[in-house]
Amino acid sequence: MASDTTDPAADLPAPRADGRRARGDRTRHDVARQAAMSATVHGLDAITVGALAARTGHSKSGILTVFANREAIQIAAVAEARTLYLRHVVEPSWPAAPGAPRLRALLDNWVAYLRDGVFPGGCFITATSVEYGRREGPVADAVRGLAREWLDLLEAELSAAGSDSPTDDAFRIDAYLRAANTRYQLFGDEVELERARRLSLDVLGA
């Protein structure tokens, strides 16, 4: 610390370090959030540090202080999308009893998550699991992990609901939700979301 500083806080390094950490946390959060949003419209692999800087108001150098490289941003985007998915779809469904009641709540909350446009291009899991289907590496691994986690959750709840074939039924429901999302994005018709919910309830009822 230079002795000729005129900053009255110069002898108080802890608050300044906290300030830097808070700024870093804010940059990390804003950039990961923006990358997750952009991934649903333009693809997770189309993000650039320059575009993220322009969208978030953080400098490129500030972003590259917090993230080692573009890949680290992409992995943080998957983690941020998972957080949003938990907040909007999973957590509000968890008070319902395991099995059929929780699955019905998950369907309600999933339709609301799409209709409310939590992500501008719809379901993050659908977008990235198609984009990264044939790729390898840490970003693809993060995408695979998130897709697998969702499928395992569906299958566990279907088991709890007494499904004769939880793997087939999880496949059916996941397929309906993905297809509804894709059609809703392509053609803009909300009826597809309701159709997916109705056909999924048929799976539960069967």
In Å, how far are 15, 109, 199 from 193, measured between CA atoms? 49, 11, 10
Interacting residue with its own copies among 67, 85, 132, 150 (CB under 8 A): 132
Q: Please choose, out of 3-11, 64-72, 86-94, 170-178, the segment that lies near its own copies by the rule CB under 8 A.
A: 170-178
134 binds its own copies (CB under 8 A): yes
In the bound complex, what is the minimum distance in angstroms from residue 48's beta carbon to its own copies?
Answer: 13
CA atoms within 13 A on the CB side of 88: 19
Q: What is the dihedral of CA 118, 184, 178, 158, to 10 degrees?
A: 80
179 binds its own copies (CB under 8 A): yes
Q: Please choose, out of 27-35, 49-57, 91-99, 192-200, the segment that lies near its own copies by the rule CB under 8 A.
A: 192-200
Which H helix or E strand runs over 107? helix 100-115
Number of CB atoms found within 10 A of residue 143's CB: 28
127 binds its own copies (CB under 8 A): yes
168 binds its own copies (CB under 8 A): yes
Question: According to CB under 8 A, which residues from 18 to 57 bind its own copies?
Answer: 40-43, 45-46
> Which residues have C-beta within 8 Å of that of residue 169, sequence separation ≥ 6?
158, 163, 203, 204
Dig out the tokens for 118 from the structure.
């939590």
> Which residues have C-beta within 8 Å of that of residue 2, sequence separation ≥ 6?
10
- 10/186 with CB nearer its own copies: 186
Give the residues lining the site for its own copies (CB under 8 A). Answer: 40-43, 45-46, 120-122, 126-127, 129-135, 143-144, 147-148, 168, 171-172, 174-176, 178-180, 182, 185-187, 192, 195-196, 199
